[in-house]
Chains A and B, each alone.
Chain A
Amino acid sequence: MIRRRLGRGLLMMVLVTFGALTLLPFVWMVCAAVKTPADFIAYQFLPGGPGFLGIAWDRLTTANFFRAFTVLPMGRALLHSVFLASVTSVLSTLCCSAGGYALAKFRFAGRGFITTLVLGTVVLPAALLLGPSFETVYHLGLVDTYAAVILPALTPAFGIYLFRQAMLNSVPSELIECARLEGCGEIRIFVEIVVPLVRPMIGTYLALAFIGSWNNFLNPQVMLQSPERYPLSVAIFNLRGLYGSDYGLIMAGMLISVAPVMCLFLVLQREFISGLTSGAVKG
């Protein structure tokens, strides 16, 4: 009895230690963002002082955020990230769900060929396609436009694969046949019958594509050239080059960059983790 309780206490201690190690970088970032440069050097977390809990609350500052939005174009970069991630995730979901539906629920000449062709690209490194994609973008006259960042990100092989699997598992062919016999149009079958049946996958994929686009650094770094078009990932990268020792400012920029996706994740965490892991365990 005592041994079991001791074991459980030890287990808790180990988990809490690792939890703290996971959390501390976040906490450090938030603290650094609200400190003055002097306090940043003097204190690892919040500055000590006579206030509540032994912290000098009155020395905390919002100046870093103020500067990030006024001196630096972080507000604009935030808008660009929101725009790029929203458009990319919605369009990518449309392309991949419709494509996955065609591959899963229709028999037609060329289906096997296309499935192999698409799934074969899973092993290709993204860096290999970057140069020729840039060339294509150049010939289309799209260098330094948002289209150059959005269009190459619309058709990841794993996207159409996920939807193909979801359609195979959770859309009964009989239902589609019935609707067809009743005279329902093909587009209506897809929108009103198939899409509702794979709604969980649509939610998971939307969130995945949004976060993937938000965190993408290499593509916008290559495709965009004017700093006034940069999303947060590229803006943060340049921020460290230009303001390398202004730690408070960098951390404020980091917080602005990380907080939106963190909030999205916290709201959708259940769908997110279980949606991701259920596929892996079944497959």
Chain B
Amino acid sequence: MKSFRPHPPWIPWLFLSPFLVFFALFASWPVARSLMLAFEQTYGPRTKAFVGLLNFQAVWHDPYFWTAVRNTLLFTGGTLLVQIPLALGLALLMNRPRLRGRAAFRLLFFSPSIIGFVFAGTLFFLLLEKRIGLLNAGLHTVFSHWDPDFPWIDHYVMTSLIIASAWLSAGFHMAYLLAALQNVSGDLLDAAAIDGAGPWRRFWHVTLPGIRPVLEVLVLLTLITGFQVFDLPFIFYNDSMGNGPNNQALTIVTYLYQTGFIAGNLGYASAIGWLLTLALIGLALAHRHLTRTEDPSR
């Protein structure tokens, strides 16, 4: 790139400066600071002492932390198994040629993802309530022996959280998958049909490879957001700070919030945060590794 009238060298820095100032204050510095904090014992912003790996050791031997890890993995696995197949199924149905009202359906399915978790959580807490909630009433109308006092929130903690999450996110994934499906070459599908491939084989050998990049990104996205779930359990079980009955709703980030902001031990919370970060980095690296080795063309 050559130009006869080069720009002064500080021009790119001028454009970058507003971003960099706030990024340094509220991203770079906090990252460095959280790494320091993870090795300190803190009670409030004023008192601290370097304690080496003590925070990590304590977290590692903390049974609540492992409960939180277990619940987080359950939630993440559940949302993955419910949302992605549901979204893919809907997207495949919506991709049928000459479907009437496709744009309207897409808008309808996408609309819940505009709502924040805090609002969806409040709504679903009431929807899942005993007796007054819509879900039990609806199930009781359809199946007359369904118990209208079925205790979704009190006993089926993860199921309740996953139902709310599926309502909120399935349409979002569907919109991405539909866009990917509409990019799959029709010629290729026709050619496969002429060669005698049935619908199942056409899906497996033509459609699925075509949407694989998008599908992989959505899986990674579901895993990353699942690992960081906070709002939903915190709102569902706000009377117990997000713990839920028998700590069944305690997730990694709710525990981080409780130790850091309720108990005021930012060092302990940072140690939890870094363990979570390492898990996320591991996920991202695994994703990159898997998508690279199996598809050398990309």
Q: A77 — which chain B residues lie within 8 A by C-beta?
A: none
Could you mark each residue 211-223 of chain A with 1 if its beta carbon is under 8 Å from any beta carbon of chain B, else 0?
Answer: 1001111100010
Nearest chain B CB to A193 CB, angstrom units: 14
8 Å CB interface, A105-119 against B: 106-108, 111, 114, 117-118
Task: Find out whether the CB atom of A186 lies under 8 angstroms from the CB atom of B11.
Answer: yes
Q: B276 — which chain A residues lie within 8 A by C-beta?
A: 125, 127-128
Question: Taking the complex as formed, is A265 at the interface, i.e. its CB lies under 8 A from any CB of chain B?
Answer: yes
With A131-B260, A241-B239 as contacts: A25 and B167 at CB distance below 8 Å: yes
Task: Find out whether the CB atom of B14 lies under 8 angstroms from the CB atom of A186.
Answer: yes
CA of A180 to CA of B99 in the docked complex: distance in angstroms?
51
Task: Find out whether the CB atom of A15 lies under 8 angstroms from the CB atom of B93.
Answer: yes
CA of A119 to CA of B14 in the docked complex: distance in angstroms?
20
Stretch at the interface among A50-58, A61-69, A91-99, A198-206: A91-99
**Closest Cβ neighbor of A173 among chain B residues:** B1
Q: B196 — which chain A residues lie within 8 A by C-beta?
A: none
Nearest chain B CB to A259 CB, angstrom units: 11
> CB within 8 A of A217: which of B5, B11, B117?
B117
Task: Find out whether the CB atom of A155 lies under 8 angstroms from the CB atom of B19.
Answer: yes
> CB within 8 A of A23: which of B96, B99, B108, B228?
B108
Q: A19 — which chain B residues lie within 8 A by C-beta?
A: 105, 108-109
With A241-B239, A269-B107 as contacts: A41 and B273 at CB distance below 8 Å: no
8 Å CB interface, B72-121 against A: 90, 93-94, 96, 99-100, 105-112, 114-119
Could you mark each residue 28-63 of chain B with 1 if its beta carbon is under 8 Å from any beta carbon of chain A, else 0?
Answer: 111101100100000001000000000000000000
Question: Taking the complex as formed, is B25 at the interface, i.e. its CB lies under 8 A from any CB of chain A?
Answer: yes
Q: A216 — which chain B residues lie within 8 A by C-beta?
A: 116
Task: Find out whether the CB atom of A123 lies under 8 angstroms from the CB atom of B270.
Answer: no
Task: Find out whether the CB atom of B284 lies under 8 angstroms from the CB atom of A240.
Answer: no
Question: Taking the complex as formed, is B126 at the interface, i.e. its CB lies under 8 A from any CB of chain A?
Answer: yes
Nearest chain A CB to B127 CB, angstrom units: 6
CA of A281 to CA of B91 in the docked complex: distance in angstroms?
15
Question: Taking the complex as formed, is A257 at the interface, i.e. its CB lies under 8 A from any CB of chain B?
Answer: yes
Q: A274 — which chain B residues lie within 8 A by C-beta?
A: 179
Task: Find out whether the CB atom of B16 lies under 8 angstroms from the CB atom of A99.
Answer: yes
Task: Find out whether the CB atom of B110 lies under 8 angstroms from the CB atom of A281.
Answer: no
Question: Taking the complex as formed, is A175 at the interface, i.e. its CB lies under 8 A from any CB of chain B?
Answer: no
Chain B interface residue count, CB cutoff 8 Å, equals 91
Q: B116 — which chain A residues lie within 8 A by C-beta?
A: 214-217, 233
Nearest chain A CB to B113 CB, angstrom units: 9
Could you mark each residue 273-294 of chain B with 1 if its beta carbon is under 8 Å from any beta carbon of chain A, else 0?
Answer: 1101100110010000000000
Task: Find out whether the CB atom of B11 lies under 8 angstroms from the CB atom of A155.
Answer: no
Task: Find out whether the CB atom of A262 lies under 8 angstroms from the CB atom of B111.
Answer: yes
8 Å CB interface, A155-186 against B: 155, 157, 160, 173, 177, 180-181, 183, 186
Question: Taking the complex as formed, is A40 at the interface, i.e. its CB lies under 8 A from any CB of chain B?
Answer: yes
Question: Taking the complex as formed, is B123 at the interface, i.e. its CB lies under 8 A from any CB of chain A?
Answer: yes
Q: B176 — which chain A residues lie within 8 A by C-beta?
A: 276-277, 280-281
Task: Find out whether the CB atom of A118 lies under 8 angstroms from the CB atom of B23.
Answer: yes
Nearest chain B CB to A123 CB, angstrom units: 5
CA of A260 to CA of B54 in the docked complex: distance in angstroms?
48
Task: Find out whether the CB atom of A108 lies under 8 angstroms from the CB atom of B12.
Answer: yes
Task: Find out whether the CB atom of A127 lies under 8 angstroms from the CB atom of B122.
Answer: no
Question: Taking the complex as formed, is B20 at the interface, i.e. its CB lies under 8 A from any CB of chain A?
Answer: yes
Nearest chain A CB to B268 CB, angstrom units: 10
Q: B138 — which chain A residues lie within 8 A by C-beta?
A: 24, 44
> CB within 8 A of B127: which of A25, A134, A262?
A25
CA of A272 to CA of B239 in the docked complex: distance in angstroms?
36
CA of A18 to CA of B18 in the docked complex: distance in angstroms?
45
CA of A254 to CA of B115 in the docked complex: distance in angstroms?
10
Question: Taking the complex as formed, is A236 at the interface, i.e. its CB lies under 8 A from any CB of chain B?
Answer: yes
Q: B119 — which chain A residues lie within 8 A by C-beta?
A: 215, 233, 236, 254, 257-258
Top 5 A-B residue pairs of the complex, sorted by shortest distance between their CB atoms: A215-B116, A99-B19, A132-B30, A128-B273, A106-B12
A-B contact pairs, 22 of them (CB 8 A): A15-B90, A15-B105, A22-B112, A22-B171, A29-B123, A44-B138, A94-B18, A95-B18, A114-B20, A117-B28, A126-B228, A127-B273, A128-B273, A129-B30, A131-B37, A180-B3, A215-B118, A215-B119, A233-B119, A236-B118, A250-B122, A265-B114
18 extra interchain contacts, Cβ-Cβ under 8 A, other than A14-B93, A15-B90, A95-B22? A15-B94, A15-B105, A21-B167, A22-B111, A95-B18, A96-B19, A99-B19, A111-B12, A129-B26, A157-B27, A233-B118, A236-B119, A237-B118, A240-B125, A240-B235, A258-B115, A273-B175, A280-B217
Interface residues of chain B, those whose CB is within 8 Å of chain A, are 1, 3-5, 7, 9, 11-16, 18-20, 22-23, 25-31, 33-34, 37, 45, 90, 93-94, 96, 99-100, 105-112, 114-119, 122-127, 132, 134, 137-138, 167, 171, 175-176, 178-180, 183, 214, 217, 224, 227-228, 230-231, 235, 238-239, 253, 256-257, 260-261, 266, 269-270, 273-274, 276-277, 280-281, 284
